[in-house]
Every structure is written in C-alpha cells, then in structure tokens.
Structure 1
Amino acid sequence: MIIKATLDRIEDQIAVLLIRPEETTEVSILLSLLPEGSKEGDILNIYITKDMQETEQAKERVSSLLEKLKNKN
C-alpha cells in the first residue's frame, strides 16, 4: 500500500506529515527517516507492507513468555 503525505512542518528533528488527500490526519516521524533534502511542502510516498516473518517471530516470543509465566504458578 502506498500512502501519500505532505511534509507539513519540522519540529526538533521530528517531521509532521499530513496524510493526503484530506490532510486532516497527522503522523510524526523522525526527520532522519525521510529522504535526504526533504523540506516543508514536499509530497512523500509512504510504503506500508506487512512483515510476515517478524510478525511470526513476535507471536512465538509472546507465546514462549506466556508459557513460562504459566509454568511459574
């Protein structure tokens, strides 16, 4: 999925993005994560994908921790 956002402003190394087209939803992100040279007024593409491998690893970690907690009782 691609989301378009306008770089609205920069505050203390935090970039405030407005999600297009309505520009009513704000997203804050570290300025260092944006492409070099990004400036206020730029339109940015944000790519969102689901990381299946990381998701599965996180589920396994949580499951393991829950099992350990159950076994303590």
Structure 2
Amino acid sequence: MKAVIDRFEEDKAVLLVGEDEDVKVVFPKEYLPKEAEEGDYLSVDISIDTEATEAARAEAEALLKELKGDNE
C-alpha cells in the first residue's frame, strides 16, 4: 500500500493513503523516518501478528475463567 505525506501538524503527519490518495490518516510523526518530508511517498505494509494475537486471546480467556471461578 502506498501513502504520501500531505503535511505535518505539530507531532503528527497527515498521510493520504491508497491508489487515489483519498483516505486521510493522522499518524504519529515519531514513527516515520527522520528524513521524511512533505510530499514523500511511503510504502506501508500491514500484517497480523499471529503470535501476539494468540497470546492476548489466551490471556483474555484465562482472566474470564478466573472471573467466572473456573479453576479447571
């Protein structure tokens, strides 16, 4: 996915995302490369962190069992 840096507003960057650059996303400037400037195009890769997702689900299930009093 592609995004272009439209502008900076204090500690945020306004990105225009997608083929038509029609979706605005406000993104923390600190996560962009230090040399990034207005007008720069970015390559964005979003993926699911399966390991973290499974760990969070397991923790939620354990807490729910604890609240219900299930000690099995």
Question: For the superposition of Structure 1 and Structure 2, which TM-score range results when normalised by the shorter chain?
Answer: 0.7 to 0.9
- C-alpha root-mean-square deviation of aligned residues, in Å? 1.4
**Over 2 Å off, 4+ runs:** none
| More off after superposition, 63-72 vs 18-27 | 63-72
Identity of aligned residues (%): 37
Gaps of 5+ in 2: none
Instruction: Give the TM-score normalised by the residue count of structure 2.
Output: 0.87
Count of matched residue pairs: 70
Gaps of 5+ in 1: none
In 2, Cα distance between the equivalents of 1:26 and 1:68?
42
Identify which of 25, 44, 48 aligns with 1:50.
48
Identify which of 2, 8, 16 aligns with 1:10.
8
